[in-house]
Amino acid sequence: MHKLKKTQNISLPVQEAWEFFSQPDNIEKITPSNLHFKILSRSDAGEMYPGMIISYKVSSLSNLVVKWVTEVTQIKKHKYFIDHQIQGLYKIWHHEHHFKEIANGTEMKDILFYDVRFGFVGQLLHKIFIRKRIEEIFNYRELKIKELFGSG
């Protein structure tokens, strides 16, 4: 299993940061355009809740379009939410989104636990490019968030 951890401070009160990041429709705004990310459906258009199912399509490699389905498993409003992939490219995808009020805004922390499919071949592909691609996506997200909200 692999782990990626990113921490970023933004110039928004924690309530406003929560409102933006807990809305599935905003994911596309912080995702690289070359992924062609699009929400296909979700179980409810209202506020996020445990058990919410969200379906996406994403192009991860060249023009290979993959359906990705996640379930929001845990929420503590203004503190954290956790989603799990239940269908998609990865064997395991557990993504924690944490929010903490700080002096000049909000500290956001992403903790991602993931594992690849296809045994030895998958691990080799991870070493060659999957890890790098995931880091690029999170680095893009960090820059886009800084552009949208500034640094705390």
Q: Give the pLDDT score at 63.
A: 72
Q: Rounded to 5 degrees, what angle do the CA atoms 25, 50, 57 make? A: 40
pTM: 0.93
For the chain, what are the domain ranges? 2-149
Fold of the domain spanning 2-149: Alpha-D-Glucose-1,6-Bisphosphate; Chain A, domain 4 (3.30.530)
pLDDT in tens, 88-106: 999 999 999 999 999 999 9
User: Residue 75: pLDDT above 80?
Assistant: yes
Beta strand 2-10 with 38-42 is unpaired
